[in-house]
A and B are shown apart, each in its own frame.
Chain A
């Protein structure tokens, strides 16, 4: 119990960020017209690619003789990049078609 309380205390800022971000996420999406649902889902998909940062950290900290960490870390970087790059490019392609028409 004490463990949990002290963890909450140490991470209070993060907990605030989480709670505020939940409200923010709901607010921001709440006004999206259904026309944009697919691009939005795809855009959000690209944004959670931010997990790549964790992959970079894991990769950057892997010891040279720890092959498991090196290989898994490398794989994580590749997959994370796929998520980010692919996600943003696909979204851009979809939105390209939404150009203003006269």
Chain B
């Protein structure tokens, strides 16, 4: 009876995950989709706690289980509620790492358990499949954990890019070595030393770190998405281990969806996934900053009153938000500017590059927070059409996504990445804190174009001043 109820609980769980993901794909239903998936998760968890049985024995250690659930829930809720909108990508990365660590810990305990039992299951030797599932959970979970922590540190600036020669080779070697050790553990089973297992763990930590370390620039979203799908696969290998369908469906769904999302992002930046896997973006980006920097030349600044003037008398203003907007928390001020200009009869639109900010859709989330309406957000293709008939483009802390080098300079590390073609507009005003290059570390020729003028300062401050000026016009 109990066990059949559990089957139903798992069925509900799996269906809600699928429904949830599907509903997340529509703005109208997304929030409900998330809640439905959460409800399914709760049903699956409660079912497991009270109904799961193995060889007729129920689970024990309820105090430990509930203790862990309560502690995790409290910390998780607090962290998720308190986090600033700008720090959202880091938070997701960190939560992802927790999931990976969880999968790795499960593998460790199960391996230790097998060792205690002398590698005998149901009277026979351990099937290779079980060992494969354990080893996979360990490797993928650990890599995801270590990688996510590094990604988290990089996004909040605690960890700097770190590149050395031959890094790819070392990563590849390490990967091969890990596969070798894993094969050894699976093949030799009981005769393999427990030391090998812990060696594998250490190697996976090192690999995870080395994997994310050299990656910088606009590529962090890709990495988080990829690690997200890794954790999915790690969860699925747990499903294999316990013959547990809900872990399997949940894990594989995320693994597949995450991989697709990753590939879509890679395409948007003209990278191959293989390139990501051996961690090579940052390396090429760092090798070239000197070249473009020399050819810089003179840029011109625009005064606040001039900027206010051009914008007030424009027919259409396109705002290009970037990470600078997020850092300055200027989304509300930006919305204010938009309303002010509209009241003066200026059409205001936003041009959103798919990888602007630190995560795909980062800008959409930020602007949505400030109540900017959807239909004002133009995706890249639309926006590139609109620029031709736009009077003023106001760039707020975006850099690499408007860098013309992506179109004109084959030597540039971002060559081939689709960009927002802001030069098509009549005037370009760039708000930046300084002339420093963007996250990818590449000089931007756009800033030296005759059409372009610079408005230096923190995005929020600059927008506030701009609003005050426009009111005076």
A residues adjacent to B (C-beta < 8 A): 3-4, 7, 10-11, 14, 17-18, 21-26, 28-62, 64, 66, 68-70, 72-98, 100-101
Asked whether, in the complex, the Cβ of A44 is within 8 Å of the Cβ of B245, the reply is no
Q: A31's contact among B25, B102, B352, B360, by CB below 8 Å, is which?
A: B25
- Chain A residue numbers with a CB within 8 Å of B242 are 53-54, 57
Asked whether, in the complex, the Cβ of A68 is within 8 Å of the Cβ of B129, the reply is no
Q: Which B223-282 residues sit within 8 Å CB-CB of chain A?
A: 224-225, 228, 231-232, 234-236, 238-258, 260-261
- Chain B residue numbers with a CB within 8 Å of A60 are 49, 52, 58-62, 65
Asked whether, in the complex, the Cβ of A57 is within 8 Å of the Cβ of B80, the reply is no
Q: Which B359-413 residues sit within 8 Å CB-CB of chain A?
A: 359-362, 364-365, 368-369, 371, 373-374, 377, 379
22 pairs, CB–CB < 8 Å, chain A vs chain B = A3-B127, A17-B248, A25-B21, A28-B25, A28-B257, A34-B379, A36-B24, A38-B364, A39-B365, A43-B34, A46-B37, A46-B95, A48-B232, A53-B238, A56-B52, A57-B48, A59-B59, A72-B108, A78-B75, A81-B76, A85-B73, A98-B368
B172 at the A/B interface (Cβ < 8 Å)?
A: no
Asked whether, in the complex, the Cβ of B25 is within 8 Å of the Cβ of A90, the reply is no
Residue of A nearest to B16 (CB): A47
Q: Which B90-115 residues sit within 8 Å CB-CB of chain A?
A: 91-92, 95-96, 98-99, 101-103, 105-106, 108-110, 112-113
Asked whether, in the complex, the Cβ of A33 is within 8 Å of the Cβ of B112, the reply is no
Of the candidate stretches B38-46, B177-185, B450-458, the one touching chain A is B38-46
Q: How far is B238's CA from A55's CA once the two chains are assembled, in angstroms?
A: 9
Q: A88's contact among B26, B41, B113, by CB below 8 Å, is which?
A: B41
Q: A21's contact among B129, B238, B253, by CB below 8 Å, is which?
A: B253
- Chain A residue numbers with a CB within 8 Å of B35 are 88, 92
Q: Chain A's nearest CB lies how many Å from the CB of B146?
A: 14
Q: How far is B310's CA from A32's CA once the two chains are assembled, in angstroms?
A: 37
- Chain B residue numbers with a CB within 8 Å of A94 are 88, 365
Chain B 61-76: CB-based contact to A (< 8 A → 1; otherwise 0): 1101101110111011
Q: Chain B's nearest CB lies how many Å from the CB of A57?
A: 6
B54 at the A/B interface (Cβ < 8 Å)?
A: yes
Asked whether, in the complex, the Cβ of B30 is within 8 Å of the Cβ of A89, the reply is no
Q: How far is B91's CA from A49's CA once the two chains are assembled, in angstroms?
A: 14
B79 at the A/B interface (Cβ < 8 Å)?
A: yes
Asked whether, in the complex, the Cβ of B96 is within 8 Å of the Cβ of A34, the reply is no
- Chain B residue numbers with a CB within 8 Å of A45 are 92, 95-96, 99, 228, 231, 254
Q: Chain B's nearest CB lies how many Å from the CB of A25?
A: 3
Q: Which 6 A-B pairs have the closest CB atoms?
A: A81-B72, A60-B59, A25-B256, A77-B68, A85-B76, A86-B76
Asked whether, in the complex, the Cβ of B59 is within 8 Å of the Cβ of A61, the reply is yes
B418 at the A/B interface (Cβ < 8 Å)?
A: no
Q: B238's contact among A4, A47, A51, by CB below 8 Å, is which?
A: A51
Q: How far is B103's CA from A95's CA once the two chains are assembled, in angstroms?
A: 28
- Chain B residue numbers with a CB within 8 Å of A90 are 80, 83, 88, 91-92, 95
Asked whether, in the complex, the Cβ of B112 is within 8 Å of the Cβ of A41, the reply is no
Asked whether, in the complex, the Cβ of B45 is within 8 Å of the Cβ of A56, the reply is yes
Take A54-B242, A82-B72, A98-B27 as given contacts and tell me if A77 and B65 are in contact as well, using a CB distance cutoff of 8 Å.
yes
Residue of B nearest to A7 (CB): B129
Take A45-B92, A87-B95 as given contacts and tell me if A95 and B30 are in contact as well, using a CB distance cutoff of 8 Å.
yes
- Chain A residue numbers with a CB within 8 Å of B256 are 21-26, 29
Q: A34-B364, A44-B228, A48-B254 are in contact. List 17 more A-B contacts (CB 8 A).
A: A17-B249, A21-B256, A25-B253, A28-B253, A28-B257, A35-B374, A36-B27, A43-B24, A46-B95, A50-B41, A50-B44, A53-B45, A54-B239, A59-B68, A82-B75, A88-B38, A96-B31
Asked whether, in the complex, the Cβ of A25 is within 8 Å of the Cβ of B257, the reply is yes
Q: Chain B's nearest CB lies how many Å from the CB of A45?
A: 5
Q: How far is B365's CA from A34's CA once the two chains are assembled, in angstroms?
A: 11
B13 at the A/B interface (Cβ < 8 Å)?
A: yes
Q: How far is B93's CA from A65's CA once the two chains are assembled, in angstroms?
A: 35
Q: B243's contact among A14, A25, A35, A51, by CB below 8 Å, is which?
A: A14
Q: A43's contact among B33, B96, B234, by CB below 8 Å, is which?
A: B33
